[in-house]
Structures are given as C-alpha cells and as structure tokens.
Amino acid sequence: MIDYHRILERYRPTEDEERKLRRISRSIVQRINGICASRGLRAEAVIVGSYAKGTNLRDGDLDIFIAFDRDYPEDLVNTEGLRIGHAVLPEGREKYAEHPYVSGEVEGIKIDVVPCYKMRFGEKKISAVDRTLLHTEYVNQHLDDRGRDEVRLLKIFMKSIGVYGAEAKTFGFSGYLCELLVIRFGSFNDVIGYFSRAKGRVIIDEDDRFQDPMVLIDPVDPDRNVASPVGLESLSRMKIASKLFRSSPDERFFQIDHEKKNVQYHDRGTCITIYSLPRPDLTDDVIYPQVYRFRSVLQKIMEAHEIRVISSEIDVSDRIYVLVETATCAEDRIHVHTGPPVDTDNAVDFINSWKGRERSRGPYIVADRLYVDVFTAQRSIEDIVRQEIFNYSIGKNLDRFRKAMEITRFREGMDKMPILDKFFGADLFKL
C-alpha cells in the first residue's frame, strides 16, 4: 500500500511556506491596487496559478495578474502593466510570451506579474492570458480540499515520470490539465486507471477540429484543446507509467528528485557523434523546436549519404547538444548515383556525359532508370556535416551558430556529458 498521506506531507508546501506566500502575495496585490487607484486606472490585481487554486507543490512560484477594464486599448494595458510590474518587482526582468510581462523574485519566491483584461464566463477573450482568470474560478468552484490533494498527487506522479509541464521542453501535461483530469475522473487513482486502459489517441472530448494525440476541451473556452501541448511520447510515457503503477504500485513513482544513477558508457560498436551549438539567451519554448529541427537536419544529411541512423538524443543545458548514433563513421566508398528515367529527353545526355569519366560501374539500368556507381571521397561523418549543414536552415535563431558548431565523437572512457547520461541512461525501469 502506498502511503499517500506521507507523500503529500513531503511535497505539499509547509505551513511556513503557505504563510510566506500569503503574506507576499497579499502585499503585492495591495501595492498593485494602490498604484492603480493613485493613477486612476480601472484595474485590479488577481492571484492566479496553482497557489490561487490550492493545488501548488512545495517551492512553487506566484502568478499575479493585473486585470484591466475591457475598454482600455492594448497599448496602454501593456505599458501600464509593465510599469506596475517593475514598481512591485524592482529587480524584475521583462519577458515575453504573447504579451510582455515582468518576472522577478521576492524572498526567494519567483513571481510573474502579467497584465490582462477582466473576463467573465462566455465573454470573448481579448488577450490569450485572459482566460487564466476563469481557470482559477472554474477550478475553485469544482475542487474541494480532497480534490486539491488528488491533483497534487497527480502532479507529483507526472513530475516523477517526466511528463509534467506544457512547455516545448517536455510536451507534457499542464497544471490546469491535471486539475481538469481530477475534476473529470474524480481522483488520482481514477485518472491513473483511465490512462492505464487508454488505447491510441486519448479523446476525452470528441471534437474533430483537434487532431492532437490527446483532446480535452477547456470548460471555459470551447475553442481550445487544453491537452494540445501533450506530445505523443509524453502521452505514451503516461500510459505505460500508469500501467506499471497499477500492476505494481511503488513509491518510486512519487520521487520527484530521482537520485542520479551513475550511468555507465560503453562501446556499442557504432558511431556516436555529438553536435553542439552555443545556446542563445531565449526561452525554452523558442529554442526547443529549433533543436528538434537541428536534429532532423543532421539525420537527413546522414541519410542522404546512406549512413544508417540508429538513434538520437538531444540536450539543452550550457549549450545545445544533439547526439546522432550511426552504423558507420564515414560514407561508403561507392555511391549509387541515380540518373534520369530511360524515357526522358536527357537520358542520352546522361549516358554521353559519363563517357570517359571515372566511375566504378555503369551507366546501367534498373527497372526504368539509369544509374552510375561512382567513387566517393569517403568523407567522415564530421566532414560531411560540416560541409552540408549550411545547405539547411535549422531555425531563425540557431542558423547563425552553424559556423560555431562543435563536433565530438564518443569514445569509451571519455568524460561525462549530460547528453550521454540521457542516451545511455534511457531506461523505463527508473519508473
């Protein structure tokens, strides 16, 4: 039997932390409201996020929105919002999601101050963050204290198996999605039961507009799939973890900080190369899609040279890393060069163009096409990638780093690297 009570005790905020959050959030709300009043702004501070919904875990952050009356122009909301944010978070930095906002820290607690418009159920949202106000209301109307702890258990479980978070880094489950799942199914155990039995796409609400792996419609916005960030692999991970947990329940599924296993690297008789780029000062949500593109470009280059790709891994830490494992470390000495179909007008030109040129074999016919086997320079994988990376765009922000690309070839006994830990450590038994 799992001692859920003990797990909650470990990860729920302590009473001290609760008092501190209450004190700080009230103080910021008061200061924001004071500024609004003194400047004659029809706006008010609202606490949102998991703290406002009572589903927060230990060491969480605070989200405070400044909700403006709906008739203010967007410019003013942005300008005044930032000004108030800087006033209450003097060390804060401006960040940008769909809107600019201010992010800072007070007594070690991370705080975001975000401007938005007031919004009631059924009203059209003006800015993308407005519906967050309604999420807070909706969850508080539908969850009691027991439900809040069920959400906490689900979040702990998801963090532990690595699927918590809707960002591009994880492609996982947002906090709000966890809350809606508990509201929908009743308890942590019911949610796990549901995922352990789920087959294929997880369609909690039928809606043909959404083709994502998982669909759950936002009760406060019928045009939005709350589960749209959930990627196929996170969903698969959630399914298999739910199955494993039900087949043998274990407290390891509630261990957020897994002790780092000492991963051993070994020779797989393959060619493992690691490509790294400087990491630009941008949010994960901007960087990750480009890192995936970088990986797929590397795979494409190798496949174009008929170097068989076995597997790959990515890591974003001090720099951007992509690992590609291939069967061999160089292109073949022979390349089968594909010519035109025999019945095209340039078939004869193709044959004549090879007259007297060095080649291994051909021109010859296979099916309806001409081919010639040519000798290649038999370049190493590193040389090929260095030359061809410039023929591909790997994304707006990463393209300029292509010339600064560093390449490391794995060999047994080399120093530890986080990406190699991820690669060699891939192991569902940690679940």
Is 24 or 334 the residue whose CB approaches its own copies more closely? 334
Which residues between 336 and 395 bind its own copies (CB under 8 A)?
336, 342-343, 347-348, 351, 355, 360-370, 373, 378
Beta carbon nearer to its own copies, 148 or 239: 239
Tell me, residue by residue from 100 to 119, as one string, x for binding to its own copies by CB under 8 A and - for no binding: --------------------
Distance CA 76, CA 96 (A): 16
Q: Which is nearer to its own copies, 235 or 320 (CB)?
A: 235
Minimum CB separation of residue 371 from its own copies in Å reads: 9
Size of site (CB under 8 A) for its own copies = 52
Stretch that binds its own copies, among 26-34, 195-203, 296-304, 393-401 (CB under 8 A): 195-203
Of 183 and 374, nearer to its own copies (C-beta) is 374
Among 87, 198, 286, 407, binds its own copies (CB under 8 A): 198
Q: Which stretch binds its own copies (CB under 8 A): 47-55, 63-71, 92-100, 302-310?
A: 302-310
Q: Cα–Cα distance between 257 and 58 in angstroms, integer?
A: 13
Asked if 1 is part of the footprint of its own copies (rule: CB under 8 A), the reply reads no
Among 266, 396, 411, 416, which residue sits at the site for its own copies (rule: CB under 8 A)?
266
Among 75, 145, 281, 427, indicate the residue that binds its own copies (CB under 8 A).
427
- Tokens, residue 427: 């192991």
Stretch of 60-68, 251-259, 266-274, 406-414 lying at the interface with its own copies (CB under 8 A): 266-274
Q: Which is nearer to its own copies, 48 or 370 (CB)?
A: 370
Q: Is 239 in the site for its own copies (CB under 8 A)?
A: yes
Q: Which of 29, 183, 203, 240 binds its own copies (CB under 8 A)?
A: 240
Residue nearer to its own copies on the CB measure, 129 or 370: 370
Q: If binding is defined by CB under 8 A, does position 200 make contact with its own copies?
A: yes
Residues that bind its own copies (CB under 8 A): 198-200, 232-233, 235-237, 239-240, 243-244, 247, 266, 268-270, 306, 308, 310-311, 327-328, 332-334, 336, 342-343, 347-348, 351, 355, 360-370, 373, 378, 423-424, 426-429
